Amino acid sequence: MTTANKNGGPTATRISGPIITARGMGEAQMYEVVQVGSLGLVGEVVRVVGDLATIQVYEDTTMLKPGAQVVCTGAPLSVSLGPGLLGNIYDGIQRPLPGIEAKSGAWIRRGEKVDALDSQKKWSFEPLVDAGSKVSGGYVIGQVPETPLVMHRIMVPPDISGTVRSIVPKGEYNLTDPVAVIETDKGPRDVVMMQHWPVRRPRPIRERLRITEPLITGQRIIDTFFPLGKGGAAAIPGGFGTGKTITQHQLAKWSDAQIIVFIGCGERGNEMTEVLREFPELEDPRSGRPLMERTILIANTSNMPVAAREVSIYTGITLAEYYRDMGFSVAVFADSTSRWAEALRELAARLEEMPAEEGFPASLPTRLAQFYERGGAVTTLAGDRGSVSIVGAVSPPGGDFSEPVTQHTRRFIRCFWALDTELANARHYPSIHWLRSYSEYSEDVKSWWEKEASDWEELRTEALTLLQREERLQQIVKLVGPDVLPDNQKLILFIAEVLKDGFLAQSAFNDNDAYCSPEKQIALLRIMLGLYHRGRDLIQEGVPLALVRGMECVSEILRAKSALSNKELDKLADIDRRLNEEADKIAQQYVKGTSCYG
């Protein structure tokens, strides 16, 4: 505790929105949590100069006056980690919103204190080690069925190592009951099922690993063209209305990550309300159970205190690291990092820091790097493989990708899914532009894909090349019209439209199309490129493009994404067979001149 000054203790001397200057804070530490005023508003020390400290408060400071008492806690801002996190909805500083509603109604009262985890609830603990076992930080000593989908692993805190002196038998215990006693160099230490960890400090790992496996999302343009590796970092930039939030919802629902952490950081209240209403009703497509049984939601809307918005992404990433340490693959969705950066800008202005580009603080690149580098595929302290994949939405004003947040984000991510306003206006979803997007994880996940389809790289490269050629041809068409193009170039325009409509566009409202398995993705792409190869060969033999476009199988190819399920690969093979049969028939009839084609 800070030593009391002559006025009886540390007091606030200046208040500017969420920023407070306090006197008598000579013993305060950076990032130490304090409580301000009679309501005990939660704040964090962000600057110490002699006897003065600058505090950012995570709650509304309305009616707070100079002279208000400041009480230091001696600890940094931390989150509670243990069974009970999954299925919960928190604000930016890990206050459970359902618990606050039960206590104070629909409105969050200032200074409201609710435990992040229910310490009285009993959990069924099963020990996995015996007395006398040697353990160290991160070692799993027991397990708890947190939800029907997730077995929560009780780990030794990172700062403890030694010999298990005793461990409780299988039974019901609450989060504060000692479940094991470990004999350390400094004496015996009790281990309970709940830990606390500072949000701004990454949790320790044994080593970082090379990314080798893609995060399968079921979205064709992502998985096939611009894959994200498990443990990778991606950005979804786009202007207003391009579908950033909807795309993240699809990824959260369909990706094969075992744990989902969704951070609503500064988004509009109506968007976050939609998330809070829809997610508890969503069904996990793989298990049939509620999706919330493996999901944590963090809601910090634009009308909540700006300081809490700044810390919310650290809260979310810390929760993700905790489940990563158990050996799970975790996906973090931050919507949006632009609103978070705006919170940094507002706080920096109140702290009277020198502004950089567009008023953002000069530390913006560093803060972005600190967030994205906490993702990755790792070997945990227990020796398991775990991963945290990060997908951050970016909301550049006016869709301008040259603004600072987008540009700095590109420095720290390897996957860029650029949303396009024209595609969104044309109702083409997901509106990820195939020429402005890229993924540097393609080489990393190549070996995984080649086990599924040996020709994945060739198919992907050829399809992207056709789309690039189509873009150049469209520029000619705009100048002189399509009639001047020869049929082989018109074919490229036709196949590009087939790819756009039959492969890249995807409907979230069609059961067969909302999620597309890797096998179905490759089968669809093979058929469409097969149409291009056969059409090219026919045109070289003199067959008019109109006959290629008029083949009966073309409409079946376009409908296949929504008409056939992921299990009906045999029907896709039938379409491919009929395509070749029709092409052979046209070639025979046209070349021999036995029909009216000529």
pLDDT tens digit sequence for 304-358: 788 888 899 999 999 999 999 999 999 999 988 999 999 999 989 988 888 999 9
When divided into structural domains, the chain yields a total of 4
Phi and psi at residue 164, in whole multiples of 5°? Answer: -70, 115
Domain containing 50 — which CATH number?
2.40.30.20
CA atoms of 225 and 461, how far apart (whole Å) = 8
CA atoms of 46 and 561, how far apart (whole Å) = 53
Judgement on whether residues 126 and 28 belong to the same structural domain of the protein? no
Judgement on whether residues 424 and 533 belong to the same structural domain of the protein? no
pLDDT band at 597 (very low <50, low <70, confident <90, very high): very low
pLDDT score at 105: 76
In this predicted structure, which of 206-215, 241-250, 364-373 has the lowest mean pLDDT?
A: 241-250
In this predicted structure, which of 34-38, 108-112, 505-509 has the lowest mean pLDDT?
A: 108-112
Judgement on whether residues 482 and 536 belong to the same structural domain of the protein? yes
pLDDT score at 5: 44
In this predicted structure, which of 279-288, 337-346, 361-370, 432-441 has the lowest mean pLDDT?
A: 279-288
Domain containing 139 — which CATH number?
2.40.50.100
pLDDT band at 474 (very low <50, low <70, confident <90, very high): very high
Domain range for 215: 207-336+382-442
pLDDT score at 307: 85
The token pair at 412 is: 């720290």
Last residue within a domain, chosen from 76, 109, 127: 76
CA atoms of 30 and 259, how far apart (whole Å) = 32
- Is 436 a domain residue? yes
Per-residue pLDDT at 206 exceeds 80: yes
- Is 509 a domain residue? yes
Rounded mean pLDDT of 244-268? Answer: 90
Q: Tell me the DSSP string of 538-559.
A: HHHTT--HHHHHT-HHHHHHHH
Q: List pLDDT tens digits, range 46-83.
A: 999 999 999 999 988 988 999 999 999 999 999 999 99
pLDDT score at 182: 96
- Mean residue pLDDT of the chain comes to 92
pLDDT band at 380 (very low <50, low <70, confident <90, very high): very high
Last residue within a domain, chosen from 442, 469, 486: 442
pLDDT score at 100: 86
- Is 94 a domain residue? no
Q: List pLDDT tens digits, range 558-587.
A: 999 999 999 999 999 999 999 999 999 999
Task: Residue 263: count other Cβ atoms within 10 Å of its Cβ.
Answer: 32
Per-residue pLDDT at 225 exceeds 80: yes
- Is 489 a domain residue? yes
- Is 167 a domain residue? yes
Give the largest CA-CA distance in the chain. Answer: 108
CA atoms of 375 and 161, how far apart (whole Å) = 26
What b/e sequence results for 33-45 when a residue is b if at least 16 CB atoms lie within 10 Å of its CB, and e otherwise?
bbbbbebbbbbbb
Pair 158, 42: CB distance under 8 Å? no
Per-residue pLDDT at 520 exceeds 70: yes
Q: Tell me the DSSP string of 154-182.
A: EE--TT--EEEEEEPPSEEE-TTS--EEE
Judgement on whether residues 403 and 516 belong to the same structural domain of the protein? no
pLDDT score at 591: 67
Judgement on whether residues 158 and 256 belong to the same structural domain of the protein? no
- Is 364 a domain residue? no
Judgement on whether residues 516 and 397 belong to the same structural domain of the protein? no
Q: List pLDDT tens digits, range 444-468.
A: 999 999 999 999 999 999 999 999 9
Q: Tell me the DSSP string of 183-220.
A: EETTEEEEE-S-EEEETTSPPP-SEE----SB---S-H
- Is 372 a domain residue? no
C-alpha distances out from residue 94 to 79, 139, 166, Å = 7, 26, 32
- Is 342 a domain residue? no
Share of the chain above pLDDT 90, in %: 78
Per-residue pLDDT at 439 exceeds 70: yes
Pair 421, 239: CB distance under 8 Å? yes
Q: Tell me the DSSP string of 57-105.
A: ESS--TT--TT-BEEEEEEE-EEEESTT-TT-EE-TTS-BHHHHHHHH-
Rounded mean pLDDT of 123-139? Answer: 96
Per-residue pLDDT at 267 exceeds 80: no
- Model-level pTM? 0.93
Judgement on whether residues 163 and 271 belong to the same structural domain of the protein? no
- What is the crossing angle of helices 456-480 and 442-452, to 10°? 110
Q: How many residues does the chain have?
A: 598
pLDDT score at 102: 84
pLDDT score at 131: 94
Q: List pLDDT tens digits, range 143-198.
A: 999 999 999 999 999 999 999 999 999 999 999 999 999 999 989 999 999 999 99
Judgement on whether residues 15 and 70 belong to the same structural domain of the protein? yes
Q: What is the DSSP letter of 417?
A: -
CA atoms of 437 and 419, how far apart (whole Å) = 8
Of 269, 361, 261, residue with least CA distance to 310: 361
Judgement on whether residues 242 and 283 belong to the same structural domain of the protein? yes
Helix/strand/coil for 356 = coil
Judgement on whether residues 164 and 220 belong to the same structural domain of the protein? no
Judgement on whether residues 393 and 481 belong to the same structural domain of the protein? no
Judgement on whether residues 586 and 489 belong to the same structural domain of the protein? yes
Last residue within a domain, chosen from 194, 227, 249: 194
Domain containing 302 — which CATH number?
3.40.50.300
- What is the crossing angle of helices 404-412 and 364-372, to 10°? 40
Per-residue pLDDT at 98 exceeds 90: no
Give the residue with greater pLDDT, 163 vs 272: 163
Sort strands 295-300 and 259-265 into parallel, antiparallel or unpaired: parallel
